[in-house]
Amino acid sequence: MTLNPIANEPQTRRCPNCGNPMPEGSPACPHCDAVLEGAAPSAEAATEYRFLRALFTRSNHFTLIFVGINVGVFVLMCLAGGFAVTSVDPEVLRGFGAKQNDLIIDQSEYWRLITSIFIHIGFIHLFLNNYALWIIGQEIEQIYGSARFVALYLITGVIGSLASFLFNPKATSAGASGAIFGLFGIMATFAFRYRKEIPRLLSREIKRRVLPVIAINLLFGFSVRIVDNAAHLGGLLSGVALALIIPYKRPNERITPRVWVALQVLCLLLILGSFVAAFRSYTGPRLSFANLTSDPGPSVVAYFERMQDARRLLDKSFRQFDSAFDGGKNASGGSNQALDSIEKALRAVNEAPRIDAQADQFRKRLLELINQQESITVEFSKSPTTNRESARQAERALRNQAQQFESDYESWLPGFLKERGYELGENGDHR
């Protein structure tokens, strides 16, 4: 004979509101969320439940909107400079509005202090910041309300950009990290400032989660040289200061005061206006779906190298054509070599990234020359030995066009490179 313990059945009762079974002693029904009168736990537990439910059932759509803006801007950057995992072409960063002190000072592009908040340097940077924004942003938006959240996010982000401008002047920087640190500072300060007003469970949970995250990220920032700690600290400290001034949206606050709604609209207009200014001032690579499969390295370097390769291969095909013409009956070998060089030249010129209208115009001119050389060479290879003079004359005319192209291109190239921080070396290489 064996003895089996009698299982203690959980004590339940019927919810008087919806009729479903609920745990005995629970202050609220898990089915309809009704808070019950005369529940076994203290009135404090019911009050905490009402507080948390009032806060964390609010909408948080602006968090999703900001995440969407970050993703949308990154997609456009990929169309300009290719899909980047850990780095982005500096030309793309500057074109889309990254923080760069000389452009802010010399050209009065103050809008970069805002646009830089929504620009990310590679997919990993985007993913980590968006994940952090999704976690902390939702909670801040629910605690402070959407109107205050928009203002807090933009203000802390701009102050982070200003801190980078002042204390990290040589860096081309971008990212939502300053604003995200600001949100963490707001959350930590909220738990401290309202510790006697909010549920103790909420205060403990915030301190347990937020303070270690702030400490770990600051420690990581100071140990990695490429991290813009000035922006992080600027955002964090501004978040602490703002949370000491700006009140949260209490559970009984049904209507947001007009001053916060007006500030929210102003912030959204500033964001929109900054991106319009960035669009009008855009000097980065031309957007193209073809760039999605291109190397996301520096587009100016890639453009220079691909154009150099294509020009060299076109010139090589001219020499191979001469050999084929002089070869008489053995011309097929020379023409095949010329066609092989032409194929490589076409591949090189098509891989040249689209940077701006003038650079792309030179790329198209070179592409047209290579296509004409291919047509002439194919015609030559199919012509009888005694009837190849017309192909030779067409090829000589094409060489004259190529010489004119070379003259125009070499006159334009140094200025183009200088505008983008490069110059030609002694051997015609960039540096």
- Spell out the domain ranges in the chain: 61-280, 298-419
Distance in angstroms (rounded) separating the CA atoms of residues 304 and 25: 74
Q: In which element (H, E) is residue 264 found?
A: helix 258-280
Question: pLDDT band at 373, cuts 50/70/90?
Answer: confident
What pLDDT does residue 302 have? 79
Pick the CATH number of 61-280 from 3.20.80.10, 1.10.10.10, 1.20.1540.10, 1.10.3720.10: 1.20.1540.10
Q: What's the rounded mean pLDDT across residues 120-148?
A: 93
> Residue 211 belongs to what H/E stretch?
helix 200-223
Banded model confidence at residue 429, pLDDT cuts 50, 70, 90: very low
pTM above 0.75, yes or no: no
| Tokens 């947001």, residue located | 256
Selecting among 125, 232, 299, 341, the annotated active-site residue is 232
**What is residue 256's DSSP assignment?**
-
172: helix, coil or strand?
A: coil
Range in 80-89, 300-309, 378-387, 420-429 the model is least confident about: 420-429
Catalytic site residue from 116, 177, 238, 317: 177
Distance, in Å, from the CA atom of 298 to the CA atom of 353, rounded to the nearest integer, reads: 10
Determine the Cα–Cα distance for residues 379 and 369; give it in Å rounded to an integer.
Answer: 15
Calpha distance 135→9 (Å, rounded): 38
Question: What's the pLDDT at 219?
Answer: 79
Phi and psi angles of residue 99, each rounded to the nearest 5 degrees, phi first:
-75, 120
How confident is the model at residue 98, as a pLDDT? 93
DSSP result, 37-73: TT-SS-HHHHHHHHHHHHHHTS--HHHHHHHHHHHHH
Closest C-alpha to 302, from 123, 74, 80, 75: 80
pLDDT at 67: 97
Give 399: exposed, middle or buried? Use CB within 10 Å, 0-12, 13-18, 19+.
Answer: middle
Instruction: Quickly state the pLDDT bin for 33 (edges 50, 70, 90).
Output: low
- With a pLDDT cut of 90, the percent of the chain lying above it is 41
pLDDT tens for 392-404 read: 788 888 999 999 9
The amino acid sitting at 222 is: F
Cα–Cα distance for residue pair 81/90, rounded to 1 Å = 10
Q: Pick 311 or 350 by higher pLDDT.
A: 311
Supply the pLDDT for residue 303. Answer: 84
Q: Distance between CA 181 and CA 24 in Å, rounded?
A: 43
Cα 300 to Cα 283: distance, rounded to the nearest angstrom: 12
> 427 vs 99, which has greater pLDDT?
99
Q: Which residues share a beta bridge with 430?
A: 424
DSSP-derived 3-state class of residue 99: strand
In whole angstroms, what is the distance from residue 94 CA to residue 81 CA?
A: 12
Question: Using CA atoms, how far apart are residues 286 and 305, in angstroms rounded to an integer?
Answer: 18
**DSSP 3-state assignment of 14?**
strand
- Give pLDDT tens digits for 152-182: 999 999 999 999 999 988 788 899 999 999 9
Q: How far apart are CA 232 and CA 182, in angstroms?
A: 8
Q: How far, in Å, CA of 312 to CA of 330, rounded?
A: 25
CA 67 – CA 48 distance, rounded (Å): 31
Please determine, for residue 18, whether its predicted confidence score (pLDDT) is greater than 70: yes
Average per-residue pLDDT in the chain? 83
Does the annotation count 146 as an active-site position?
Answer: no
Q: Which residues of 244-265 are buried (b: 16+ CB within 10 A; e: fewer)?
A: eebebbeeeeeeeeeebbebbe
Q: Is 163 exposed, middle or buried (0-12, 13-18, 19+ CB in 10 A)?
A: buried
234-243 mean pLDDT: 96
The question of whether 120 is a catalytic residue gets the answer no
Residue pair 191/210 in contact by the 8 Å Cβ criterion: yes
